[in-house]
Amino acid sequence: SAVISQKPSRDICQRGTSLTIQCQVDSQVTMMFWYRQQPGQSLTLIATANQGSEATYESGFVIDKFPISRPNLTFSTLTVSNMSPEDSSIYLCSVNQRGAHPEAFFGQGTRLTVV
Amino acid sequence: DQQVKQNSPSLSVQEGRISILNCDYTNSMFDYFLWYKKYPAEGPTFLISISSIKDKNEDGRFTVFLNKSAKHLSLHIVPSQPGDSAVYFCAASLSGGSYIPTFGRGTSLIVHP
Protein backbone atom coordinates (compact mmCIF):
# COMPACT_ATOMS: atom_id res chain seq x y z
CA SER A 1 0.00 0.00 0.00
CA ALA A 2 1.04 3.60 -0.55
CA VAL A 3 1.28 6.25 2.14
CA ILE A 4 0.41 9.72 0.93
CA SER A 5 1.13 12.91 2.84
CA GLN A 6 -0.80 15.95 1.76
CA LYS A 7 -0.53 19.49 3.04
CA PRO A 8 -1.93 21.80 4.10
CA SER A 9 -4.80 19.88 5.67
CA ARG A 10 -6.96 22.98 5.58
CA ASP A 11 -6.78 26.64 4.72
CA ILE A 12 -8.95 29.71 4.55
CA CYS A 13 -8.00 32.00 1.68
CA GLN A 14 -9.04 35.34 0.32
CA ARG A 15 -10.67 35.44 -3.08
CA GLY A 16 -8.29 36.30 -5.89
CA THR A 17 -5.32 34.61 -4.23
CA SER A 18 -3.73 31.24 -5.03
CA LEU A 19 -3.02 28.18 -2.91
CA THR A 20 -0.54 25.41 -3.65
CA ILE A 21 -1.24 21.95 -2.25
CA GLN A 22 1.58 19.48 -1.88
CA CYS A 23 1.43 15.71 -2.15
CA GLN A 24 4.25 13.35 -1.17
CA VAL A 25 4.13 9.58 -1.75
CA ASP A 26 6.33 7.08 0.05
CA SER A 27 7.09 5.18 -3.15
CA GLN A 28 7.72 5.97 -6.78
CA VAL A 29 4.59 6.06 -8.89
CA THR A 30 4.07 6.79 -12.55
CA MET A 31 0.79 8.65 -12.25
CA MET A 32 -0.60 10.81 -9.51
CA PHE A 33 -4.18 12.05 -9.53
CA TRP A 34 -5.86 15.17 -8.19
CA TYR A 35 -9.52 15.10 -7.19
CA ARG A 36 -11.98 17.68 -5.96
CA GLN A 37 -14.93 16.99 -3.72
CA GLN A 38 -17.40 19.84 -3.58
CA PRO A 39 -19.95 19.80 -0.74
CA GLY A 40 -22.42 16.97 -1.24
CA GLN A 41 -20.82 15.93 -4.48
CA SER A 42 -18.76 13.01 -5.67
CA LEU A 43 -14.99 12.94 -5.97
CA THR A 44 -14.30 14.49 -9.36
CA LEU A 45 -11.01 13.91 -11.15
CA ILE A 46 -9.27 17.19 -11.97
CA ALA A 47 -6.17 15.91 -13.71
CA THR A 48 -3.55 13.19 -13.97
CA ALA A 49 -0.01 14.27 -13.18
CA ASN A 50 2.69 12.47 -15.13
CA GLN A 51 6.36 12.82 -14.35
CA GLY A 52 8.24 14.46 -17.17
CA SER A 53 5.23 15.63 -19.14
CA GLU A 54 2.32 18.00 -18.84
CA ALA A 55 -0.64 17.00 -16.75
CA THR A 56 -3.73 15.65 -18.46
CA TYR A 57 -6.84 17.60 -17.50
CA GLU A 58 -10.39 16.34 -17.40
CA SER A 59 -13.25 18.13 -19.09
CA GLY A 60 -14.12 21.31 -17.25
CA PHE A 61 -10.66 21.82 -15.73
CA VAL A 62 -7.90 23.92 -17.28
CA ILE A 63 -4.21 24.36 -16.63
CA ASP A 64 -4.47 28.11 -16.05
CA LYS A 65 -6.83 27.55 -13.14
CA PHE A 66 -5.24 24.38 -11.75
CA PRO A 67 -1.55 24.30 -12.67
CA ILE A 68 0.16 21.08 -11.63
CA SER A 69 3.80 20.25 -11.12
CA ARG A 70 5.34 16.78 -11.06
CA PRO A 71 9.08 17.21 -10.57
CA ASN A 72 9.77 13.58 -9.65
CA LEU A 73 8.11 10.21 -9.13
CA THR A 74 7.14 10.82 -5.49
CA PHE A 75 5.90 14.41 -5.43
CA SER A 76 3.28 16.64 -7.02
CA THR A 77 1.66 19.99 -6.39
CA LEU A 78 -1.72 21.38 -7.37
CA THR A 79 -2.28 25.13 -7.38
CA VAL A 80 -5.76 26.61 -7.18
CA SER A 81 -5.36 29.97 -8.88
CA ASN A 82 -7.33 33.20 -8.62
CA MET A 83 -9.67 31.62 -6.13
CA SER A 84 -13.36 32.35 -5.78
CA PRO A 85 -15.85 31.02 -3.20
CA GLU A 86 -16.89 28.36 -5.75
CA ASP A 87 -13.45 26.80 -5.33
CA SER A 88 -14.24 25.95 -1.72
CA SER A 89 -13.86 22.17 -1.70
CA ILE A 90 -11.81 19.29 -0.45
CA TYR A 91 -8.88 18.60 -2.74
CA LEU A 92 -7.40 15.10 -2.71
CA CYS A 93 -4.22 13.59 -4.05
CA SER A 94 -4.33 9.94 -5.11
CA VAL A 95 -2.22 7.15 -6.57
CA ASN A 96 -3.30 3.83 -8.02
CA GLN A 97 -1.94 0.47 -6.98
CA ARG A 98 -1.96 -1.98 -9.85
CA GLY A 99 -1.94 -5.73 -9.63
CA ALA A 100 -4.58 -8.34 -9.04
CA HIS A 101 -6.73 -6.01 -6.97
CA PRO A 102 -6.13 -2.46 -8.13
CA GLU A 103 -7.24 0.28 -5.80
CA ALA A 104 -6.68 3.98 -5.29
CA PHE A 105 -4.93 5.40 -2.26
CA PHE A 106 -5.68 8.91 -1.08
CA GLY A 107 -4.03 11.60 0.95
CA GLN A 108 -6.00 13.02 3.86
CA GLY A 109 -7.24 15.89 1.74
CA THR A 110 -7.02 19.67 1.86
CA ARG A 111 -10.16 21.46 2.98
CA LEU A 112 -10.14 24.83 1.24
CA THR A 113 -12.47 27.66 2.16
CA VAL A 114 -12.42 30.79 0.03
CA VAL A 115 -13.87 33.92 1.58
CA ASP B 1 -24.26 13.14 -16.42
CA GLN B 2 -23.42 10.91 -13.48
CA GLN B 3 -22.10 7.52 -14.47
CA VAL B 4 -22.11 6.24 -10.88
CA LYS B 5 -25.11 7.02 -8.73
CA GLN B 6 -25.73 6.63 -5.05
CA ASN B 7 -29.30 7.76 -4.64
CA SER B 8 -29.43 7.60 -0.86
CA PRO B 9 -27.43 10.44 0.68
CA SER B 10 -27.82 8.99 4.15
CA LEU B 11 -28.71 5.80 5.99
CA SER B 12 -29.35 5.22 9.67
CA VAL B 13 -29.06 1.73 11.18
CA GLN B 14 -29.15 0.22 14.64
CA GLU B 15 -26.00 -1.43 15.94
CA GLY B 16 -25.99 -5.16 15.20
CA ARG B 17 -28.36 -4.88 12.27
CA ILE B 18 -27.51 -5.06 8.58
CA SER B 19 -26.53 -1.96 6.60
CA ILE B 20 -27.21 -2.07 2.87
CA LEU B 21 -25.74 0.64 0.69
CA ASN B 22 -26.75 0.76 -2.95
CA CYS B 23 -25.06 1.97 -6.11
CA ASP B 24 -26.11 2.11 -9.75
CA TYR B 25 -23.97 2.74 -12.80
CA THR B 26 -24.80 3.62 -16.38
CA ASN B 27 -21.64 2.71 -18.31
CA SER B 28 -21.79 -0.98 -19.22
CA MET B 29 -18.07 -0.91 -19.99
CA PHE B 30 -17.20 -0.64 -16.29
CA ASP B 31 -15.78 -3.95 -15.17
CA TYR B 32 -14.23 -3.28 -11.78
CA PHE B 33 -16.06 -1.85 -8.82
CA LEU B 34 -14.92 -0.61 -5.44
CA TRP B 35 -16.25 0.73 -2.19
CA TYR B 36 -14.40 3.35 -0.20
CA LYS B 37 -15.00 4.56 3.32
CA LYS B 38 -14.32 8.13 4.42
CA TYR B 39 -14.16 9.56 7.90
CA PRO B 40 -14.25 13.34 8.43
CA ALA B 41 -10.90 15.08 7.87
CA GLU B 42 -9.44 11.94 6.29
CA GLY B 43 -9.05 10.75 2.73
CA PRO B 44 -11.13 7.83 1.45
CA THR B 45 -9.78 4.38 2.26
CA PHE B 46 -10.34 1.27 0.20
CA LEU B 47 -12.84 -1.16 1.67
CA ILE B 48 -13.70 -3.90 -0.80
CA SER B 49 -13.82 -4.49 -4.54
CA ILE B 50 -15.39 -6.82 -7.07
CA SER B 51 -14.60 -7.72 -10.64
CA SER B 52 -17.36 -8.05 -13.19
CA ILE B 53 -16.61 -11.76 -13.54
CA LYS B 54 -17.99 -12.26 -10.05
CA ASP B 55 -21.33 -11.51 -8.50
CA LYS B 56 -20.25 -11.56 -4.88
CA ASN B 57 -17.16 -10.81 -2.84
CA GLU B 58 -16.96 -11.17 0.91
CA ASP B 59 -14.43 -9.82 3.40
CA GLY B 60 -15.34 -10.31 7.02
CA ARG B 61 -18.41 -8.25 7.84
CA PHE B 62 -18.44 -6.66 4.38
CA THR B 63 -19.98 -8.22 1.28
CA VAL B 64 -20.37 -6.62 -2.11
CA PHE B 65 -22.96 -7.92 -4.56
CA LEU B 66 -22.90 -7.15 -8.27
CA ASN B 67 -25.87 -7.44 -10.62
CA LYS B 68 -24.47 -6.70 -14.07
CA SER B 69 -27.76 -6.97 -15.90
CA ALA B 70 -29.26 -4.33 -13.61
CA LYS B 71 -26.02 -2.32 -13.47
CA HIS B 72 -26.36 -2.35 -9.72
CA LEU B 73 -24.12 -3.15 -6.82
CA SER B 74 -24.63 -3.12 -3.11
CA LEU B 75 -22.51 -3.22 0.01
CA HIS B 76 -23.76 -5.21 2.98
CA ILE B 77 -22.32 -4.69 6.43
CA VAL B 78 -23.29 -7.33 8.97
CA PRO B 79 -23.37 -6.76 11.86
CA SER B 80 -23.14 -2.98 11.77
CA GLN B 81 -21.00 -1.30 14.40
CA PRO B 82 -20.88 2.34 15.54
CA GLY B 83 -17.32 2.55 14.15
CA ASP B 84 -18.77 1.90 10.70
CA SER B 85 -20.34 5.36 10.77
CA ALA B 86 -18.75 7.14 7.82
CA VAL B 87 -19.40 8.21 4.25
CA TYR B 88 -19.26 5.31 1.80
CA PHE B 89 -18.34 5.95 -1.83
CA CYS B 90 -19.08 3.57 -4.63
CA ALA B 91 -16.63 3.65 -7.55
CA ALA B 92 -16.38 2.00 -10.95
CA SER B 93 -13.46 1.66 -13.31
CA LEU B 94 -12.25 0.12 -16.56
CA SER B 95 -9.63 -2.59 -16.42
CA GLY B 96 -8.51 -1.74 -19.93
CA GLY B 97 -7.48 1.75 -18.90
CA SER B 98 -5.60 2.84 -15.83
CA TYR B 99 -8.26 1.72 -13.35
CA ILE B 100 -9.00 5.37 -12.68
CA PRO B 101 -12.21 5.20 -10.64
CA THR B 102 -15.38 7.17 -11.25
CA PHE B 103 -17.07 7.92 -7.94
CA GLY B 104 -20.63 8.29 -6.75
CA ARG B 105 -21.66 11.08 -4.39
CA GLY B 106 -21.46 8.92 -1.32
CA THR B 107 -23.87 7.69 1.32
CA SER B 108 -23.48 8.81 4.92
CA LEU B 109 -24.01 5.82 7.20
CA ILE B 110 -24.84 6.36 10.86
CA VAL B 111 -24.88 3.33 13.12
CA HIS B 112 -26.66 3.99 16.40
CA PRO B 113 -25.55 2.16 19.55
CATH of the domain at B33: 2.60.40.10
CB contact at 8 A, A10 and A112 = yes
CATH topology of domain A4-114: Immunoglobulin-like (2.60.40)
Could you give the number of structural domains in chain B?
1
B4-25: buried (b, 16+ CB within 10 Å) or exposed (e) per residue? Answer: bbbeeeebebeeeeebbbbbbb
* Nearest-CB residue to A42 (from B42, B100, B105): B105
Q: Is B19 on the interface with A (CB under 8 A)?
A: no
Please give the Cα distance from B33 to B63 (Å, whole number): 13
| β-bridge pairing B107-112 and B10-14 | parallel
Number of Cα atoms under 13 Å in the Cβ half of residue B20:
5
Per-residue pLDDT of chain B (113 residues; tens, 9 = 90+): 789 999 999 999 999 999 999 999 999 999 999 999 999 889 999 999 999 999 999 999 999 999 999 999 999 999 999 999 999 999 999 877 677 889 999 999 999 99
Interacting residues of B42 by C-beta distance below 8 A, sequence separation 6+? A108, A109
> How many residues belong to chain A?
115
**Pick from A29, A34, A21: which is nearest to A1 by CA?**
A29
The residue of chain B nearest to residue A47, with distances taken between CA atoms, is B100
Whether B100 has its CB under 8 Å from any CB of chain A: the answer is yes
Nearest-by-Cβ selection for B43 from A45, A101, A107: A107
Q: Which structural domain, as residue segments, surrounds residue B19?
A: 4-112
